[in-house]
Amino acid sequence: MKKLLLSATLLLAAAVSQAQDFKYQTPPKAIQDLLLAPPTPRLSLSSDGRVLALLPVQDFPTVAELAQPELRLAGLRFNPRTNGPSRVSYAVGIKLKKLPGGPEIDVKGLPAQAHISSPTWSPDNTQLAFALTTPGTGTDGRVELWVLDVATATARRLLAAPLNDAFGTSFEWVSDSKTLLARTVPAGRGPAPAADAAPTGPTVQESGGGKKSGARTYQDLLKNPADERLFDYYATSQLVKVNLVDGSAQPMGQPGVIQTASPSPNGQYVLLRTRHRPYSYLLPISSFPQRIDVLDLASGSLVQPVADLPLADNVPTNFDAVPAGPRGHSWRTDVPATLYYAEAQDGGDPKVKVDVRDKLYTLPAPFAGPAQELAALPLRFAGLSWANDKLALAEGYRWADRHQTTWQLNPGAPSAPLTVLFDGSEQDTYHNPGTPYERRNALGKYVLLTGGPTGQSIYLVGEGASPEGDRPFVDELDLATHKTTRWWRSEAPAYEIPVAILDASGKHRQLLTRRESLTQAPNYYLRDASKKAAPAAVTHYPNPYAAFGGSFQKQVLHYKRADGVDLTADLYLPQNYKKTDGPLPTLMEAYPVEFKDKSNAGQVSGSPYTFTRLSWASPVFWVTQGYAVLANASIPIVGEGSKEPNDTYIDQLVSSAKAAIDEGARLGVVDPARVGVMGHSYGAFMTANLLSHSNLFKAGIARSGAYNRTLTPFGFQGEERTFWQAPEVYNAMSPFNFADKIKTPILLIHGEADNNSGTFPIQTERYYAALKGQGATARYVVLPAEAHGYAARENLLHMLWEMDSWLNKYVKAPVPAPAN
């Protein structure tokens, strides 16, 4: 009898844990309707501010479309049928609208089912170039270069040869607005190389000599010589100069793995960045050897080789580590033809103590040198904005304490001392002065917008973080006096952000803004910042959820953690909910963030006045099912001074989650006995840790996470220490190590083709196996063809069904816990 009972038990266990041949399911209609609401068109503004291109967006692709052929090589993903990116959210049409009040004009000449990407205005704003992808069914797919004439609202194919769009945008305007540089598939390249019928030998890698070359965990790397041949075949392109009038194409130089080709502001030269062998099996293309050359744009001949940089395989794993040697070669945007670049003075290692961390150099035509030193920075170089020969702004950064500085430079006097313009913590959002505003000049290059009575003012655009929430603003900063004048600031009960400064020269301070409120969908407006008058609407997009009755109650909660850190969360409640209805089953969603200062960690982010536009990843869908939702619950992980945030990750994580639930319970809207938690990516990692180390939740949903930090041993998220430097942190933060502690049901979801660094699908596969082995209640769902972010309609609907079923079973009407 005992043997019979044992056999029956084993058979039942096998039936429960076996794989299931499952068909796609759909969630309740209210959730479906919200997910499939029409997307809002994108917008592209001409640099003179006179014309808008309105770009209707592709709806969710089908899983069949998502499952098109895809090659994953050197950190890139592309479709071999088209030689273009394999995962693009396309525009499906174009309309033009002249500002301020012109009608929307349909563009003629487009194919019936257009797949449009990379819209780019010509410097004179008379043309709009874009890529148009024809998916094809075999080898006949292609990416083409098209151009739209604004005056006639007519589009046409410009170039007969297909683009090589494996790197993304594969064309750029020259300053004359009559010429484009494009990277095309080489003529007559023949069929793709076939895979080896049988291995010709093992794949071998070797290290030694004391050389440290640790690398973070990357996806889609080259694995063998066959991969290298495929990569060369699909990544090799021919640079051509395209005539706008007749579409003729003049080849420039030889085919190569050309990553970028950028014309100089005066249109006489081309800065060419080409990757070359030896390749790496541990690093993506961004670390491959690269050659920097300058070509003559008229003839295509080589003017000057600038640099030949080796494989960057010995860069420290710190976040502000960089390769030794010159890096980041680019055009100075305010003069005819001058290169600039940075070079580390610490060997690229931020742990080396030096007074000068980076130096900046300029190299004018004809680029033969010697380069001229522009500035010596005490922090790692993070960016340059050019205005003229008397003004440029340089940014520097230090990861260890999240410090950032902006300096004012005088390019005409490179020996002049640096002037600190802004200085402080990158995480101190309340005191963020804003971002200096840039716009394209007549040559099509971005430069700082300057103005004011003396011409010495710049303009700052910021989110305006404050204790009352974000209030975006536009400021004018006089660089002579350092006096700031506020032009405009968003006012409650709306949330309005500046999109462009259209006029800063006269009395009318004209802005293009995007405005929304709790009940009004985002739309674009023209606003005179010098007047109190209401803005004039440019677009009139309706509430996409109006037809479904999809509105919610929303408020921002403010509360404290046990250690005194201020926290916030967005609380959503069903439309007709009243407090007398009593506490609700609740879904909490969060994403932890590391901080170096408690005061910065407690700063409010977001706005109470934003319109709730639901992405596929949102938790707010479940308001329609009678849940309260705590979205964007802040979970700061703080480590001040010499302490690192993750040293006390678990304690801070659990304390933050408990504070959110307690606040919702205090308000009488959250039932603390019926709370589920969900997260995506690092939020999934958070979810598994919360279930491992607390009993706050009835169920968890973890999507596309990493659960064993020893599989990402050279750092992860905000942790830059390696496993060997902090093994106790890696072990304590790995939910995999605590699979035997989870007594709460957990739903694990992962995209089959995850492309994110560190979140390989095997992370979830092995974690599920560990949970199953420990008898935990777990479900593992693999979404076909999905990357780290999900896209296909069938997969998204099924994901929402899985989540809804799990929440209903274990949170809304929780299954009684088994008796001990």
Among candidate residues 807, 675, 653, 618, the one with its CA nearest the CA of residue 735: 653
Please, which residues have CB within 8 angstroms of residue 64's CB and are 6 or more apart in sequence?
none
Amino acid at position 638, single letter: V
Q: What is the CA radius of gyration of the chain?
A: 28
- Are 135 and 61 in contact by the 8 Å Cβ rule? The answer is no
What whole-number distance in Å separates Cα of residue 735 and Cα of residue 737? Answer: 5
* Residues constituting the chain: 820
- Are 241 and 222 in contact by the 8 Å Cβ rule? The answer is no
- At 13 the three-state DSSP class reads helix
- Are 617 and 610 in contact by the 8 Å Cβ rule? The answer is no
Cα distances from 306 to residues 270, 275, 344, in angstroms, run 12, 14, 17
Which residue matches tokens 């083409």?
144
Please, which residues have CB within 8 angstroms of residue 719's CB and are 6 or more apart in sequence?
594, 644, 646, 726, 729
Among candidate residues 411, 445, 413, 143, the one with its CA nearest the CA of residue 267: 445
Q: For residue 732, is it left (φ>0), alpha (ψ between -120 and 50) or beta?
A: alpha
Q: For residue 645, is it left (φ>0), alpha (ψ between -120 and 50) or beta?
A: alpha
**CB burial of residue 410 (10 Å; 0-12, 13-18, 19+):** middle
- The tokens describing 258, both together, are 């050309």
Among candidate residues 292, 297, 310, the one with its CA nearest the CA of residue 253: 297
Residue 44 catalytic? no
Selected catalytic residue, list 165, 313, 597, 754: 754
- Are 95 and 117 in contact by the 8 Å Cβ rule? The answer is no
Task: Determine which helix (DSSP H) or strand (DSSP E) holds 690, and give its type and residue range.
Answer: helix 682-693
Task: Determine which helix (DSSP H) or strand (DSSP E) holds 182, and give its type and residue range.
Answer: strand 179-184
- Are 804 and 749 in contact by the 8 Å Cβ rule? The answer is no
Sheet of strand 699-703: strand arrangement: 553-560, 566-573, 628-633, 584-590, 670-680, 699-703, 746-751, 778-783
Cα distances from 694 to residues 58, 697, 699, 768, in angstroms, run 42, 8, 12, 19
Residue 425 catalytic? no
Selected catalytic residue, list 117, 118, 490, 681: 681
Residue 694 catalytic? no
Selected catalytic residue, list 115, 329, 680, 788: 788
Among candidate residues 551, 541, 482, 552, the one with its CA nearest the CA of residue 515: 541
What whole-number distance in Å separates Cα of residue 61 and Cα of residue 695? Answer: 39
What whole-number distance in Å separates Cα of residue 514 and Cα of residue 526? Answer: 9
Q: What angle do CA 434, 436, 440 make, to 5 degrees?
A: 140
What whole-number distance in Å separates Cα of residue 312 and Cα of residue 73? Answer: 18
What whole-number distance in Å separates Cα of residue 782 and Cα of residue 704? Answer: 10
Among candidate residues 331, 332, 330, 283, the one with its CA nearest the CA of residue 310: 283
Cα distances from 527 to residues 166, 174, 501, 508, 805, in angstroms, run 40, 32, 10, 9, 47
What are the catalytic residues? 681, 754, 788
